[in-house]
Chains A and B, each alone.
Chain A
Amino acid sequence: MTTNSLAPIANLLQQHRVAICDEWLNDIMRIWEHSHAGLVDKEEVSRQANDFLKELAVFFNSHSGEAPAEISTNSPFGKIACELSIERAKKGFKPADTAQYIITLKNVLTRHFLRTYSETPVDLALYLRVMNDMLDRISLLTFEMYVETRERIIAQQSLSLSELSTPIILLWNNVLLLPLVGVIDTVRARQFTERLLEAITRYEANVTIIDVTGVPVFDTSVARHFMKVIDAAQLLGSRIVMTGISPEGAQTLTKLGINFSNIISRATLRSGLAEALLLVGRRIELIGGVRP
């Protein structure tokens, strides 16, 4: 037997597990049933709480130092903690709710420690300190995981939004249309540039119409994004027809001192489309051969 000063904690966790688990669940469910009615499955929470306590016992059993080591997200224990907070983040729990979970356990354990070790105050002090330390670290870990998960969810949502907002349409053989709507920021610009270049290659597009009717403001940063996409598209052999710049927008751009070189610009998408078709040797005609 090694001299593990913390083994008694592990023993207590094992011997009192059922009681601890019950008390913990009661306390936490009382809080959550209020704030998250319908979101918590009691069975599920109970299983997790049991796993959690088992893992905690394993940890103290194998751990001989005074203060617990760093808890990595890879340790079996870290994994349980992560699973907890990730799942809750997805369900829309607040970070405080997960903290609440750990704090509740802390209270329950403190009660049990006080009862069990009241005769040996020196040991009691050590156990309380180590247990507190450990649960604080877990708290931090779950909090970190929670934030990370939320951020990933938000990033995913904004990614799918920006993908939705920039479709690239094959209008005709070798003619692409990129209708831009909304604020053009660096992230969106990079993303539609990449996708446009890919589409130009895939469809061997000779002409790309960029319609900017839905772009609210032209400024130097938007202009720079356009210049880049225009340059790259032209390198791949696609002409650019820009459509939908309003008279006010055109005035603003010239005053600002910006001119797009090497592109064809048309006021409306309609005339831009006619121009683009002409560039690939087509024309829209009335059936019967009369020109529209």
Chain B
Amino acid sequence: MREMIDPERVLIRDSTDIVRARAVARQVANQIGFTLADQTRLATAVSELTRNIVQYAGEGVCEIADASGEEEIRLRIIVEDNGPGIDDIDRAMKDGYSTGGGLGVGLPGTRRLMDDFAIESSPGCTRVSIALVRRRV
């Protein structure tokens, strides 16, 4: 039997928390066998999602969990907040759309970077779930 790593929860309130969440994500990815390239794209994805929290929601949580199974290794991250929510998800997922004067590629870029990506949002709750996945050989 494989040892599973306990899920880690990082509270997101300011930019130092972004750095922490990134570091934890990287470390867990490394521990369960993802490559440097995977760790790098993961760190960027976590950075985007947690910075959206700081920027648009004020505070939230980033949960990092080893969700590997027999067939695959899987690192799952859920980034969640109780902020105002995203008005129009379809637009927010388009390149170049930003209400905060950014480049507007955080969300669409994260989707391109990750192997799995899901987003749901309503006033009072925004939840983005991403994953790195690699088949076992």
Segment of A2-10, A21-29, A211-219, A281-289 in the binding face: A211-219
CB atoms of B112 and A257 under 8 A apart: yes
Which of A216, A220, A251, A255 contacts B102 (CB under 8 A)? A220
Q: What's the nearest-Cβ distance from chain A to residue B67, in Å?
A: 22
- A224–B106 Cα distance when bound, in Å, is 11
Interface size on B, residues (CB 8 A): 23
A220 and B109 in contact, given A252-B41, A258-B103 (Cβ under 8 angstroms): yes
In the bound complex, residues from chain B placing their C-beta under 8 Å from that of A217 are 22, 40, 43-44, 47
CB pair B15 A185 closer than 8 Å: yes
Which B residues touch A220, using CB under 8 A?
48, 102-103, 105-106, 109
Q: Mark B97-112, 1 if CB is under 8 A from A, else 0.
A: 0000011011011101
- Selected from B37, B39, B109, the residue in CB contact (under 8 A) with A251 is B37
B113 in contact with A252 (CB, 8 Å): yes
Residue numbers in B under 8 Å from A252 (CB-CB): 40-41, 44, 113
Q: Does A44 contact B (CB under 8 A)?
A: no
Taking the closest CB of chain A, its distance from the CB of B54, in whole angstroms, is: 10
A218–B36 alpha-carbon span in the complex (Å): 14
Instruction: Decide: A257 and B105 in contact? CB cutoff 8 A.
Output: yes
B49 closest partner in A (C-beta):
A219
Q: Is the CB of B109 within 8 A of A257?
A: yes
Q: Whole-angstrom distance between the alpha carbons of A183 and B23 in the complex?
A: 12
Residue of B nearest to A183 (CB): B19
A186 closest partner in B (C-beta): B15
Contact with A along B46-81 (1 / 0, CB 8 A): 011001000000000000000000000000000000
B95 adjacent to chain A (CB < 8 Å): yes
Of the A-B pairs whose beta carbons lie under 8 Å apart in the complex, a sample of 6, sorted by A's number, is A183-B19, A217-B22, A217-B47, A251-B37, A252-B40, A256-B112
B-contacting residues of A (Cβ < 8 Å)? 183, 185, 216-221, 223-224, 246-249, 251-252, 255-258
Q: Can you list the 4 inter-chain pairs with the closest CB atoms, starting with the nearest?
A: A256-B109, A248-B40, A219-B47, A248-B37
Q: Besides the contacts A248-B36, A248-B40, A256-B110, what 15 more A-B pairs have beta carbons closer than 8 Å?
A: A183-B19, A216-B22, A217-B40, A217-B43, A217-B47, A219-B48, A219-B106, A220-B48, A220-B106, A246-B40, A247-B37, A249-B40, A252-B41, A256-B112, A257-B112
